[in-house]
Chain A
């Protein structure tokens, strides 16, 4: 079965941010079962086993979704809303990654059911440590539903 055992679904349109994040997760040891998509439409296709992901096992939900907000076509907010309003997928933890703390969408994200909201640090050491801690917290410390 293709795309099986995906633990982390990483939704990020910026190549640079994606590369740096995956590198940090890899270095921390959480990138083994990570799948990266570049836009919201592809993220939903993956979740609902549509398009290129039609053959994916729909019962296999990822254990964590890292979701960037500002994306073309379907935005991160829409993806969040779709995932959290569907009972089949609403229990998947969703961590919003955003460029700055001043993002005005924080209220709406939490209202839609986001589990966490984190600003990506500009400074590289801080960035690395933040990603590492996200992995540690959500993959190791926090218990996920069965």
Chain B
């Protein structure tokens, strides 16, 4: 146990020595801390002094700002005085608008400068605020420093407490060996603690250094602020100089106004001259007004004349209205007359329609009359003829020569009666028939008629000599009847000649085509020409040439219906020439 106890006691002694060293060091550091704290306190005192100085500076700044404010107020008052003076000048120089405008312009200038000063004051106030802020910051920094010194004091107290504890523990270790290890551990721990606190002290020292630099910065800032204050004081001096300049300018402007007053006097003289001119022109205007008055009287005369003219126009309009009224009356009468004419025309047309209807009815009656004549008269005539023939055929041996003659006479006469009825019927039909006008191909028409006659010509005695026939306008069926009648006459009246030669031709005469039929037959006596075309008129004996005498009457009636004419020439026994005209197709 002795070596161990020796070692442990040595270790304890070493530990105690180390502790003593450490406690010495701690005492040193505590002393250093105290010194540091004293320094800190001194620095805080200093800071407090500077803060007080800052406050004083701030007060001075405030005082200066107040001074500036006063000066600004003085400037404002000066501006007001200037404005008042400008107003005074305006009052004096109402006639001098240009000078007043200049004054107004100058007041504006001054106002601008006042504004500038106000702005500068605002800037100064802003800067004092800034300084106030910085002073506040410094106060806060001081508070922080105080807090930190307190912290350090606290830590110093803690160190003292820790040292006391160490001393107590040393005592404890003296008493308890077993607890020394723990105490050493505790010491190690406490050393660590001390190291931490030393580090904290270093940090605190760094902070102190930092704060010192901060204080230096702020001191520099204060210097800058002081410089700014000096600069602003200089600025104020400048503006005061400017105000002096402005006042000199005002004085200059006052001289200018005196110049302008002189000009006003000159201008007033000119105005007096112009007034004289105006009076002259007024005199001229009076003359002009007299002329206008004269012209007005002239216009009144003309107005009176116009009124008279208007009355005349009104009168004429009344006249025109009267005539218009008369015209309306005459128009109405005309319309009445037209109406009457129209009604009369309607009556006429009605009458025409009635007459036409009557004519048509009459025509119809004629038609039915001729129909019943032909129809009803035929039967008895047929019977007479038939029975006569029976007598002749079957009882002729019972008749003597006289009886036979009588019988033949009966037959002949009844046959004639039939023919007369047929011809009469044909003639009356002609009167009623409508002429349907068209272009007639005369060559074709005549050829047809000729061929029919040639077919019946059993003895081949008849020759035709036909020229080319131009076309004409007419009713083909009626014109065909004309050709039939003329050609059959030509053949009939040539029957005693050896040869029947019939010549057919045509020639143009103006708008008409004249057609002709020439034969070499018996001809007729021109002495009885006016009977040639008569109804049932004959120029020859029935025994020589049979016929009823209706053929040429029919020809004449047809050609007349066509608007043409028919005529004839003849030499007895040498033949006859019959002509008829028709309109050509271009008519």
Q: Which chain A residues have a beta carbon within 8 Å of chain B's beta carbons?
A: 14, 16-17, 19-20, 23, 70, 99-100, 102-104, 120-125, 127-128
Contacts and interface: CB of A to CB of B under 8 A. Distances in A.
A103 B374 CA distance: 10
Closest 6 CB pairs of A and B: A122-B418, A16-B383, A20-B386, A124-B385, A124-B389, A100-B374
27 contacts: A14-B379, A16-B380, A16-B382, A16-B383, A16-B386, A17-B382, A17-B383, A19-B386, A20-B382, A20-B386, A20-B387, A23-B386, A99-B374, A99-B375, A99-B376, A102-B370, A102-B425, A103-B375, A120-B378, A120-B382, A122-B381, A122-B382, A122-B415, A122-B422, A124-B411, A127-B386, A128-B389
Q: Which of B383, B390, B415, B425 has the most CB of A within 10 A?
A: B383
B386 A124 contact: yes
Given A16-B387, A100-B374, A102-B371, A123 B379 contact: no
Interface of B: 370-371, 374-376, 378-383, 385-390, 411, 415, 418, 421-422, 425
Which applies to chain A's interface (DSSP): helix, strand, loop or mixed?
loop
A17 B418 contact: no
B365 to A, nearest CB: 15
A120 to B, nearest CB: 6
Given A122-B378, A122-B381, A122-B382, 6 more contacts: A14-B379, A23-B386, A99-B376, A102-B374, A102-B375, A127-B385
Given A122-B418, A123-B418, A99 B386 contact: no
A20 B386 CA distance: 6
Nearest to B415: A123
Contact of B385 (A14, A100, A122): A122
Nearest to A122: B418
Contacts of A120: 378, 382
A127 B374 contact: no
Contact of B382 (A102, A103, A104, A121): A121
Contacts of B381: 122
Given A23-B390, A122-B418, A123-B415, A99 B385 contact: no
A121 B374 CA distance: 12
A123 to B, nearest CB: 5
B388 A124 contact: yes
B368 to A, nearest CB: 10
A87 to B, nearest CB: 34
A20 B383 contact: yes
B425 to A, nearest CB: 7
A70 B382 CA distance: 16
A35 B586 CA distance: 62
Contact of A123 (B375, B380, B383, B385): B385
A17 to B, nearest CB: 7
Given A123-B415, A123-B418, A124-B388, A99 B378 contact: yes
Contacts of A125: 389
Contacts of A128: 389
Contacts of B371: 100, 102, 104
A99 B373 CA distance: 11
A97 to B, nearest CB: 11
Contacts of A14: 379, 383
B390 A99 contact: no
Contacts of B421: 122
A127 B421 CA distance: 17
A70 B371 CA distance: 14
A9 B374 CA distance: 27
Nearest to A70: B375
A23 to B, nearest CB: 7
Contacts of A104: 371
Q: Which of A14, A19, A124 has the most CB of B within 10 A?
A: A124
Contacts of B415: 122-124
A123 B422 CA distance: 11
B425 A127 contact: no
Nearest to A123: B415
A146 to B, nearest CB: 36
Contact of A16 (B370, B374, B379, B422): B379
A122 B425 CA distance: 14
A20 B374 CA distance: 19
B437 to A, nearest CB: 24
Nearest to B385: A124
Nearest to A98: B375
A103 B370 CA distance: 11
Given A122-B418, A123-B418, A17 B379 contact: yes
Contacts of B376: 99
A124 B383 CA distance: 8
A124 B425 CA distance: 20
Contact of B378 (A19, A23, A100, A124): A100
Nearest to B418: A122
Contacts of A70: 375
A29 B421 CA distance: 32
Nearest to A27: B393
A102 B371 CA distance: 7
A128 B382 CA distance: 11
A138 to B, nearest CB: 21
B126 to A, nearest CB: 137
B451 to A, nearest CB: 22
Contacts of B385: 122-124, 127
Q: Which of A14, A16, A104, A123 has the most CB of B within 10 A?
A: A123
A69 to B, nearest CB: 10
Contacts of A123: 385, 415, 418
A27 to B, nearest CB: 9
A124 B394 CA distance: 14
A70 B415 CA distance: 23
Nearest to B389: A124
